[in-house]
Amino acid sequence: MKKALGWKIILILVVIGLSVWRFLEDKIVLGLDLRGGTHLVLEVQTGEGLIVQTDQHVTRLKSLFKDASIKYEKVTRKGVTGIEVSGFEFEDERNIKDIFDDDFREWNYTFSARLATMKLKPNEAMRWREQTVNQALEKIRNRIDATGLSEAKAQRIEGFSQKGDKLLVLLPGIDDPGRIKEIIKTTAMLEWKEVVSGPFDTEEEALSDYGGKLPEDLVVLKMNPKTGGRKGFMILKAANIVSGNDLRNAKRTRNEYGAPIIGFSLHPKGGRAFEKYTAANIGKRLAVVLDKRVLIDPVVQTVIPAHSGGVITGSYTTELVDDMVVMLRAGALPASMKFLEERTVGPSLGADSIRKGIYASSVGLLLVMAFMLLYYKAAGINSVVALALNIVILMGVLAYFRATLTVPGIAGIILTIGMAVDANVLIFERIKEELRAGKSPKSSIDSGFKKAFVTIFDANLTTIIAAIFLYQFGTGPIQGFAVTLMIGITASMFTAVFVSRVIFDLIYGDRKKLKKVSV
């Protein structure tokens, strides 16, 4: 018997030792509702991402038609994922089909008279949406990391069967999230465009020279008076000279008066294009556009060499420059964000929740222990030891996996205490039944554990399944409850069934003539 118990005792001691060590070494990560901070749920506007990619394919198609000397009236985007080509010659239809087959295989297409209609295949549209969400998540993570926030998190909210378009952002220690929200939601699409005319006081005035509608190669954009010191509308060339994709680096620097400005450098290809443009357009205005708003429209005064980069000036505060640098370094979002939910918890409220949670858990634990000792007497000590070990293991596992403890998570701990004792009650009552049936104490203990195991396993398994669903469909605190419950239930299976049996065997196992067991 002693040999059989040896490895079990060693296993229990190792589990306890590891749990205590990990708890002391890693500590438990507190959730926002305990530590204080902001919880944000965002939805990626994936439709915008599809429009951007469709527009890129329109531009690519125009380039291919130009290379193939195919004449047409218009190539335009229709809806979110459709392209329409109109006004081409009948003899070019075969060449257009060849271009579609070779370079646009992910598109379905149809021809009617002098009109070709393209539609993105459904599976490809799903792939584009998935790509848009993943890119948005990566950009947001980069922006949050660049702000220096410790333990901030950004992750996708996933359903049970598929990933969605929603993102969860956790900002611990932040009780005024305005600045971070601005950094997150700003698309940060940077463009350099040639100025045609302006500024104009109104958009109608800007369009008046074009009969109220601009040609395809021009756009009208609003100026941003907060940065450029001017207001109104400007007519710009639609094509970019360079864009944020050509940006190699951005940093905060200062002008000759000590005011904060943005310095930037470009990748070689973009730098050469910028140098070529400035050399050919000295004396003309160049617009710097961020998110479809004109920041500034400086006059090109000299050639800007490809390797030297440049600066973006304006009426900026140091904080605004730092935020813009963060966004430009991280890159433009593939689509805009919609804020669906925001919850903010102050540090004092979080501290109060911790105190009340510890108090509730302690009172619940003591009451359960007192009941077990009064009702089951000596056997109650067995359950008290198992229950204490269950809490130790639960805390150690939470610390090891860096799981976040939330207010609902504390509720999960309290629920775990009740369910752990429930297993002991089932075992002890089954042992009593066996004793009343006239079986020997040793046989009763053995039968009690074996027969109660199926019921305990079934009850705990259904609880874990429910917790898995909560984790899959819940967010933030609900996931904290689910994680705590799953770990606690697993630990209770180990302590109530395995540890309790070892304690019984240690007390009664070596007694050859056991006449009574205290249950």
The separation between CA 164 and the C-alpha centre of its own chain, rounded to angstroms, equals 11
Look at the chain and count its residues.
Answer: 519
In the block, residue with structure tokens 């019921």:
455
**Nearest to 431, CA basis, from 415, 417, 423, 443:** 443
326 shares its domain with 350: no
Mean pLDDT of all residues in the chain? 78
Output the pLDDT for position 139.
78
Q: Output 131 or 348, whichever has higher pLDDT.
A: 131
**pLDDT grade for 275, boundaries at 50, 70 and 90:** confident
Residue 346 has pLDDT above 80, yes or no: no
What proportion of the chain, given as a percentage, has pLDDT over 70?
82
Torsion of CA 451, 456, 458, 463, to 10 degrees: 180
User: Would you say residue 182 lies in a domain?
Assistant: no
In the block, residue with structure tokens 């465009």:
193
Domain boundary residue, one of 332, 356, 389: 332
With contact defined as beta carbons under 8 Å apart, do 195 and 284 qualify? yes
Q: Each residue of 489-504: pLDDT tens digit?
A: 888 888 888 888 888 8
| Phi, psi dihedrals of residue 46, rounded to the nearest 5° | -65, -25
CA–CA dist 324, 126 (Å, integer): 32
In the block, residue with structure tokens 């813009």:
324
136 shares its domain with 115: no
350 shares its domain with 494: yes
**pLDDT grade for 372, boundaries at 50, 70 and 90:** confident
Q: Each residue of 444-474: pLDDT tens digit?
A: 778 888 888 888 888 888 888 888 888 877 7
CA–CA dist 347, 176 (Å, integer): 12
Output the pLDDT for position 290.
76
Q: Within a 10 A sphere around the Cβ of 175, how many other Cβ atoms?
A: 15
Q: In what order do the strands lie in the sheet with 163-172?
A: 153-158, 163-172, 37-44, 337-345
User: Would you say residue 411 lies in a domain?
Assistant: yes
**pLDDT grade for 176, boundaries at 50, 70 and 90:** low
Output the pLDDT for position 488.
85
Angle, helices 441-473/500-508, rounded to nearest 10 degrees: 170
Residue 309 has pLDDT above 70, yes or no: no
User: Would you say residue 240 lies in a domain?
Assistant: yes
Residue 24 has pLDDT above 50, yes or no: yes
**Nearest to 500, CA basis, from 344, 387, 338:** 387
Angle, helices 378-400/500-508, rounded to nearest 10 degrees: 140
**pLDDT grade for 331, boundaries at 50, 70 and 90:** low
**Nearest to 126, CA basis, from 53, 42, 43:** 53
- Mean pLDDT of the 296-306 span: 72
Domain boundary residue, one of 332, 355, 377: 332
**pLDDT grade for 487, boundaries at 50, 70 and 90:** confident
**Nearest to 184, CA basis, from 347, 342, 55:** 342
59 shares its domain with 164: no
Is-above-0.85 flag for pTM? Answer: no
With contact defined as beta carbons under 8 Å apart, do 435 and 517 qualify? yes
User: Would you say residue 354 lies in a domain?
Assistant: yes
Report the CATH number at residue 75. 3.30.1360
Three-state secondary structure call for residue 90: helix
Residue 514 has pLDDT above 50, yes or no: no
Output the pLDDT for position 438.
76
Least confident of 109-123, 127-141, 350-364, 365-379: 350-364
Report the CATH number at residue 376. 1.20.1640.10
- Mean pLDDT of the 375-404 span: 82
Return all residues near 31 (Cβ < 8 A) that are at least 6 apart.
404, 405, 406, 407, 409, 476, 477, 480
Q: Output 338 or 190, whichever has higher pLDDT.
A: 338
Output the pLDDT for position 513.
44
307 shares its domain with 425: no
Three-state secondary structure call for residue 68: coil
User: Would you say residue 86 lies in a domain?
Assistant: yes
* Secondary element (H or E) of residue 119: strand 115-120
Return all residues near 226 (Cβ < 8 A) that are at least 6 apart.
315
Residue 516 has pLDDT above 60, yes or no: no
What's the domain count of the chain? 4
Output the pLDDT for position 160.
42
Residue 183 has pLDDT above 50, yes or no: yes
Report the CATH number at residue 200. 3.30.1360.200
CA–CA dist 388, 145 (Å, integer): 39
**Nearest to 19, CA basis, from 488, 496, 500, 511:** 488
With contact defined as beta carbons under 8 Å apart, do 76 and 105 qualify? no
Residue 15 has pLDDT above 50, yes or no: yes
Q: Output 113 or 28, whichever has higher pLDDT.
A: 113
* DSSP alpha helix (H) spans, 265-332: 268-280, 318-330
315 shares its domain with 386: no
248 shares its domain with 147: no
Return all residues near 356 (Cβ < 8 A) that are at least 6 apart.
none
Domain boundary residue, one of 332, 363, 391: 332
User: Would you say residue 514 lies in a domain?
Assistant: no
Indicate the burial class of 438 (C-beta count within 10 angstroms; 0-12, 13-18, 19 or more).
exposed
| Phi, psi dihedrals of residue 178, rounded to the nearest 5° | -55, -50
Q: Each residue of 395-436: pLDDT tens digit?
A: 888 888 777 777 777 777 888 877 778 888 888 888 888 778
| Phi, psi dihedrals of residue 263, rounded to the nearest 5° | -95, 145
Output the pLDDT for position 388.
85
**pLDDT grade for 512, boundaries at 50, 70 and 90:** very low
User: Would you say residue 202 lies in a domain?
Assistant: yes
Output the pLDDT for position 308.
64
Output the pLDDT for position 375.
83
390 shares its domain with 499: yes
State the DSSP code for 433.
H
51 shares its domain with 25: no
User: Would you say residue 515 lies in a domain?
Assistant: no
Q: Output 342 or 490, whichever has higher pLDDT.
A: 490
142 shares its domain with 95: no
162 shares its domain with 225: no
| Phi, psi dihedrals of residue 184, rounded to the nearest 5° | -70, -45
- Mean pLDDT of the 269-280 span: 79
Output the pLDDT for position 189.
73
With contact defined as beta carbons under 8 Å apart, do 261 and 251 qualify? no
Residue 505 has pLDDT above 80, yes or no: no
Q: Each residue of 55-110: pLDDT tens digit?
A: 878 878 888 888 888 888 888 888 888 988 888 888 888 888 888 888 888 889 88
Domain boundaries, position 82: 47-122
Q: Output 440 or 101, whichever has higher pLDDT.
A: 101
42 shares its domain with 62: no
